[in-house]
Amino acid sequence: MQDEPIDPFAGDPGDPSADLDANEDGEPLTEAERQDVLEDLADLEIYQALLTPIGVRGLVIECEDCHEPHYFDWDLLRANLRHLLTSGRPRVHEPAYDPDPDHYVTWEYARGYADGVHDALADATDDGER
């Protein structure tokens, strides 16, 4: 175990490391960024397993570039996250072809759905122990 170096700009709004374009040169992700992507990948597995049986094919994401919703199938989402993990760069968006919006939900919806299922399972377990 190594101690984290102290960031001299921590809490400083002028922090040069806060530059959002830092990854445009393909610099490797920071450990925290890698962790975020790995968590997204793990969440994705759960959402796909829970939502596919009710007809959901993937997620809809509001694009920061063109401000329109893009529809991504589960496989494409996973490929994009893996690409980000290895290259440090998000992929140029290539949404699903001619998607049916009824079959896509937001991250927020998927997260809420997974939480609801988790709570229901936890309740069921509690009841069984009483």
> Rule CB under 5 A: which residues touch Zn ion?
63, 65-66, 93
Give the residue among 88, 43, 94, 86 at the shortest CA–CA distance from 66. Answer: 94
Residue 61 or residue 114: which is nearer to Zn ion going by CB? 61
Residue 4 or residue 68: which is nearer to Zn ion going by CB? 68
CB of 122 to Zn ion, least distance (A): 38
CB of 68 to Zn ion, least distance (A): 6
Residue 98 or residue 127: which is nearer to Zn ion going by CB? 98
- The structure tokens 């374009």 sit at 21
Distance of CA 50 to the CA centre of its chain: 16
CB of 79 to Zn ion, least distance (A): 17
Using CB positions, name the residue nearest to Zn ion: 63
Give the residue among 56, 98, 54, 91 at the shortest CA–CA distance from 76. Answer: 91
Measured CA to CA, the distance from residue 78 to residue 91 in angstroms comes to: 12
